[in-house]
Structure 1
Amino acid sequence: MTAQGDTGLMLPFLAIGAALFAAFSFAVTRLGDRGRLAAWLGVIAFFAVGTGLVGFAYGVLMAIVGYIAGGMTCWLASGRYRLNLPPYATARQVLWFYSFRMICGMIFVFLIMPIFVLIPLSFNQEPYFSFTPGMLRFDPLAYSMRWYIDILQNGMVDPEAVVGWWSDMWSNAQWIRSIRNSFFIGFWATMISTALGTLAAVGLSSSDMPWRRPIMALLISPMIVPLVITASGLFFFFSSVGLAKTYLGIILAHAALGTPFVIITVTATLSGFDQSLTRASANMGAGPIRTFFKVQMPLILPGVISGALFAFITSFDEVVAVLQLADVRQRTIPRQMFSGIREQISPTILAVATILVIISILLLTTVELLRRRSERLRGVSPS
């Protein structure tokens, strides 16, 4: 059948759908301000139509569309869309106000959807990187934890072949070794970058520090210079001093990449620090080290922890430097994922990616909570 024939068959369905949506919108406008009721009516109506025409999975998706359509139609019909705007706003200003937010929302959905698609695919029973018909029908047999078990089983993809895997999973499994390397390298790189970055930020925040801007530019240059150039330079330097292909070399490389994040975060925290506290501490006879640990550190601790988390995420996700500086013994999770994509395509990569997404969300949530706490300590209302 030609493309014109397919279009001709779709036109009646589109017309029927538009007519049904118009009738639904007209009925919802009769509800007045009862937006919650309109939203749930949209869920029921769209779910019934989607399930009847295609199937249960499509009905669930249509139910989400129905909830949004019902609530938004009632919201527009009642005129509540003007409550957050000044009364003198023109129709064009109102249209641009909501159009701008809709564009931002669409960009956000465009950026975040590829991540959310990975999560259900990691539970696929079949070794495919696509949704199977069983998954689209929400068949429980189409979902499995086999790829998460495969992370621990060192390549055994049979979920029932679990005899004896516990005894050797910590010594032989490639993924387990990569996870262990990632946490080991990330921990020590974070410790080094946090210590160096905090000291640098404290020094740069002092008004007596000469050449502050050039020094700041030099310290944050690893964020600006392309990573492949930085990794190549580190490789040639570490090769000359015997640190290439060693844990220490990778830790130092990741520390150099994570230090700028600590400097920026701690410097932002110190921008609202009251320097009269350090002068008062000096007047009481405390030295610089005691003043730092007893006065400054408790107040800037949320910023220090936030910078440390950023440094850990940088080390945990970094792959370019590891490709050049590490051998098979120092493989991290991103390096193992890169190798898996090149050598053997397996949905185990999707399971690992899902775990990394969850870890990143938890770490970034912690960073946001620490940011809010830091603002409260400095007397700034969180936005």
Structure 2
Amino acid sequence: MALPAYVDRWERIWHWVYLTFCALVFLFLFLLLPVLVVVPLSFNAEPYFSFTEGMLTLDPAAYSLRWYRDILQNGMADPTQLFSGWSWIGDAWANSQWIHAAKNSIVIAIGATILSTLLGTVAALGLSQSILPGRRLIMALLISPMIVPIIVTSTSLYFLFSEIGLANTYLGLIVAHAILGTPFVVITVTATLSGFDRSLIRAGQSLGASPLVVFQRVIMPLILPGILSGALFAFGTSFDEVVAVIFLADYDQRTIPRQMWSGLREQISPTILAVATILVAMSILLLTVVELLRRRSERLRGLTA
């Protein structure tokens, strides 16, 4: 945004000092700089977690895609056949450790997202009713998984699931991740409902529509951006969760964060940096979608043009 023409020199200097300060806070306080450093390191041709002399001098030979290839090769029965014919696809799909972890992460995250979205949306609709007694207490209980330390929640779930047979199962992980993701759905849908015009519900009922039709034709289209935003947050929470997986998952249910944790402890490899770069790209994509949904919600509610 350009400064007005009447701004003097000192005001211009203060403006740029302020912007520089904000940029530094944004980079260091919010840990963006360490995340961005991971990206070039993932293209390191050497098995190091630091910049080599060739990388600093921008030598093309110092950069490589070997660690991205290792995502597919690690665990393959015949890693030398990568990208030669079509047989390597089945080999990588069945045997690659990272592919196996990715499949688990996607399945668990999708299941947890569906469950948490259903539970969170229903809870938010109930909390939006002014006649509901104990709304504040119920809201506090629903968002408690965001407040209670994850190690406490994971330990409690481990002892509970061990008693009922859900430990070391996919269903147990989906339920655990849904518990962690539901607060995000509750908060986003509740925020969307705060600007909802309830006269639209009464108008639909006065025209003879049933409660189900009113929900499908009136309520759902207007709160859908909030539901989708909450679902995206729940998906990201499930996809990135590692503590609950350490407590509740067996070796066959290991996810990408669990695989990265094992790699840091057992076999340090820059492949972890390549996977981290992919996850950063996915996070940026999710945040972009959330922002687009937020703007669409504001337009639907008439808050912006």
For the pair 1:141 / 2:64, whether they are aligned, the reply is: no
Q: 2:52 is matched with which residue: 102, 127, 132?
A: 132
Counterpart in 1 of 2:34? 114
Q: Partners of 1:84 and 1:178 in 2: how far apart?
A: 59
* 1:149 and 1:159 in contact (8 A); partners too: no
Greater C-alpha radius of gyration: 1
AA of the residue aligned to 1:113: L
* 1:118 and 1:353 in contact (8 A); partners too: yes
For the pair 1:318 / 2:238, whether they are aligned, the reply is: no
* 1:154 and 1:173 in contact (8 A); partners too: yes
Counterpart in 1 of 2:214? 291
Q: 1:377 is matched with which residue: 273, 297, 300?
A: 300
Distance 1:379 1:337, change over 3 A: same
Choose between structure 1 and 2 for higher RCO, CA contacts under 8 A separated by at least 6 residues.
2
Q: Partners of 2:42 and 2:14 in 1: how far apart?
A: 40
Counterpart in 1 of 2:125? 202
Counterpart in 2 of 1:267? 190
Aligned-CA RMSD value:
2.1
Deviations 1:107-132 (A, max 9, x none): 11222111111111111111111111
Q: Partners of 2:301 and 2:90 in 1: how far apart?
A: 51
* 1:244 and 1:326 in contact (8 A); partners too: yes
Distance 1:235 1:180, change over 3 A: same
Q: Aligned ranges for residues 227-376 of structure 1 at < 5 Å?
A: 227-376=150-299
Counterpart in 2 of 1:224? 147
Unaligned regions of 5+ residues in structure 2, if any?
Answer: none
Distance 1:242 1:160, change over 3 A: closer
Q: Partners of 2:32 and 2:154 in 1: how far apart?
A: 29
Q: Partners of 1:264 and 1:184 in 2: how far apart?
A: 24
Query: SS at the partner of 1:124?
Result: coil
Q: Aligned ranges for residues 74-223 of structure 1 at < 5 Å?
A: 83=5, 98-110=16-28, 111-155=31-75, 162=82, 165-223=88-146
Query: SS at the partner of 2:290?
Result: helix
Deviations 1:67-125 (A, max 9, x none): xxxxxxxxxxxxx866486x8xx95x776655443322101122211111111111111
* 2:108 and 2:173 in contact (8 A); partners too: yes
Q: Partners of 2:102 and 2:184 in 1: how far apart?
A: 23
AA of the residue aligned to 1:216: M
Deviations 1:170-229 (A, max 9, x none): 111110000000000000100000011011111111112121111101100000111100
Distance 1:94 1:246, change over 3 A: same
Q: Partners of 1:147 and 1:139 in 2: how far apart?
A: 18
Distance 1:105 1:287, change over 3 A: same
Q: Partners of 1:127 and 1:159 in 2: how far apart?
A: 18
Q: Partners of 1:112 and 1:84 in 2: how far apart?
A: 35
Counterpart in 2 of 1:43? none
AA of the residue aligned to 2:50: S
Counterpart in 2 of 1:34? none
Q: What is the Cα deviation at residue 249 of structure 1?
A: 0.3
* 2:44 and 2:55 in contact (8 A); partners too: yes
Deviations 1:5-32 (A, max 9, x none): xxxxxxxxxxxxxxxxxxxxxxxxxxxx
* 1:238 and 1:244 in contact (8 A); partners too: yes
AA of the residue aligned to 2:23: G
* 1:153 and 1:165 in contact (8 A); partners too: no
Q: TM-score, normalised by structure 2?
A: 0.92
Q: What is the Cα deviation at residue 160 of structure 1?
A: 5.9
Q: What is the Cα deviation at residue 137 of structure 1?
A: 2.1
Query: SS at the partner of 2:46?
Result: coil
Q: What is the Cα deviation at residue 300 of structure 1?
A: 0.8
* 1:303 and 1:371 in contact (8 A); partners too: yes
* 2:54 and 2:62 in contact (8 A); partners too: yes
